[in-house]
């Protein structure tokens, strides 16, 4: 869909299918740079099916809805102020369009935008759903919450989800003024509490120039934390098993440090550290919230070397912490003054960057 096409080009809204069965809605600028991509696991548009498409354009802000469900919202700061609107079809025999209507913008509710498309919870956990409304100045903010399968997860009138039993269900926010406008959030109740592969965004991990999502030459996306930056997942954990892939840079410093924050709260956290030294040795260290060393495993060589991917596992149960590298134990100790709950994340110091992928939090067996 061409948005305000003029001599210099236009913003473009795209829908794309892929051979692996997935699809995406994308926003491009006039130079065909992808400004935003929302990936979906299946083909969002099916053969021989009619869909209601709605596109809201206000300045550089663009929102896309399919059958009342949110698909994409992003901004093109270089948008054209005015221009023509239309369609383009590629690698499809044909597309049929009907009842094309242009309307002036109003405060009438156009869509409900969930802060997350899917969540994972362990049985017994609770989670507050968050949504925003489009446009932001709409007065039509009344909605109800529904669960497709309350035996898996229940939802309160205020959007608090309570995980009941292992399985999958859909939690739906439905507009009171227009029940055709709704937002679905997929809920999985299992031993896996949170999982991110970074193919569709940060999923609660902060993303900015210091903590970005970087693509490999083969297209795999990883979480890239630069030297001096911290990445904390926006979720609170108690006991947990953390597993992730760690990819090192091609050049390693003589003296570098990598920390994992365990249950960061206002008064600090337990910290798991890896440190390489100029003499070629290295250590895994457990610190308390006052940076007092609780335990240290010293190694005669560099345990982590350049341009290598490692499988890291951390098991935290109350104050007990165990660390494994490629399934080999590295550190086991107890912080008697551990935080009961808090956020978990990483800090990089001395290394140009570290790459993280397939980060999974699961219930301690």
pLDDT of 20 higher than 90: no
Instruction: Read off the pLDDT of residues 28-76 as tens digits, 9 standing for 90 and up.
Output: 999 999 999 998 889 999 999 999 999 999 999 999 999 999 999 999 9
pLDDT band at 230; cut points 50, 70, 90: very high
Q: What is the pLDDT of residues 157-206, one digit of tens each?
A: 999 999 999 999 999 999 999 999 999 999 999 888 899 999 888 999 99
In this prediction, residue 41 carries a pLDDT of 85
pTM of the model: 0.65
Better-scored residue on pLDDT, 146 or 117: 146
- Give the model confidence (pLDDT) of 269-290 as tens digits: 999 999 999 999 999 999 999 9
| pLDDT(107) > 90 | yes
> Domain coordinates of the chain in residue numbers?
2-86, 111-190, 196-362
Could you say which architecture CATH assigns to the domain 111-190?
Answer: Sandwich (2.60)
Spell out the SS3 assignment of the chain: CEEEEECCEEEEEEEEECCCCCEEEEEECCCCCEEEEEEECCCCCCCCCCCCEEEEEECCEEEEEECCEEEEEEECCCCCCCCEEECCCCCCCCCCCCCCCCCCCCCCCCEEEECCCEEEECCCCEEECCEEEECCCCCCCCEEEEECCCCCEEECCCCEEEECCCEEEEEEEEECCCCCCEEEEEEEECCEEEEECCCCCCCCCCCECCEEEEECCCCCEEEEEECCCEEECCCCECCEEEEEEEECCCCCCCCEEEEEEEEEECCEEEEEEEEECCCCCEEEEEECCCCCEEEEEEECCCCCCCCCEEEEEEEEECCEEEEEECCEEEEEEECCCCCCCEEEEEEEECCCEEEEEEEEEECCC
- Asked if residue 105 has pLDDT above 80, the reply is yes
pLDDT of 267 above 80: no
CATH number of 196-362: 3.30.1360.120, 3.40.50.880, 2.60.120.560, 3.40.605.10? 2.60.120.560
The reply to whether 196-362 shares the fold of 111-190 is: no
């Amino acid at each position: 869909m061409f948005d305000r096409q003029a001599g210099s080009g236009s913003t473009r809204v795209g829908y794309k299918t892929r051979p692996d069965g997935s699809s995406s809605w994308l926003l491009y600028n006039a130079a065909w740079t992808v400004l935003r991509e929302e990936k979906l696991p299946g083909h969002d548009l099916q053969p021989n099916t009619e869909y209601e498409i709605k596109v809201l354009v206000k300045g550089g802000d663009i929102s896309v809805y399919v059958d009342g469900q949110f698909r994409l919202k992003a901004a093109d700061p270089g948008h054209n102020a005015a221009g023509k609107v239309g369609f383009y079809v590629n690698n499809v025999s044909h597309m049929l369009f009907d009842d094309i209507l242009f309307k002036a913008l109003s405060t009438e509710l156009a869509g409900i935008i969930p802060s997350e498309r899917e969540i994972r919870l362990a049985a017994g956990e609770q989670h507050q759903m968050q949504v925003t409304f489009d446009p932001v100045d709409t007065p039509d903010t009344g909605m109800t919450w529904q669960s497709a399968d309350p035996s898996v997860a229940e939802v309160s009138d205020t959007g608090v989800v309570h995980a009941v039993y292992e399985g999958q269900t859909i939690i739906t926010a439905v507009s009171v003024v227009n029940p055709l406008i709704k937002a679905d959030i997929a809920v999985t109740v299992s031993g896996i509490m949170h999982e991110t592969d970074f193919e569709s965004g940060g999923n609660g991990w902060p993303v900015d120039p210091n903590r970005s999502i970087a693509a490999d030459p083969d297209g795999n996306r990883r979480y890239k934390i630069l030297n001096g930056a911290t990445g904390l997942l926006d979720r609170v954990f108690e006991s947990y098993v953390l597993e992730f892939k760690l990819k090192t840079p091609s050049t390693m410093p003589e003296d570098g440090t990598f920390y994992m924050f365990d249950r960061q709260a206002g008064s600090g956290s337990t910290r798991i550290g890896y440190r390489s030294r100029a003499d070629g040795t290295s250590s895994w260290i457990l610190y308390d919230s006052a940076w007092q060393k609780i335990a240290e495993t010293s190694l005669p060589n560099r345990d982590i070397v350049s341009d290598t991917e490692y499988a890291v596992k951390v098991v935290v149960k109350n104050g007990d912490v165990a660390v494994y590298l490629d399934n080999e134990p590295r550190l086991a100790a107890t912080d008697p003054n551990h935080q009961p709950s808090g956020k978990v994340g990483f800090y990089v110091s001395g290394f140009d960057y570290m790459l993280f992928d397939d980060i999974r939090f699961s219930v301690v067996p």
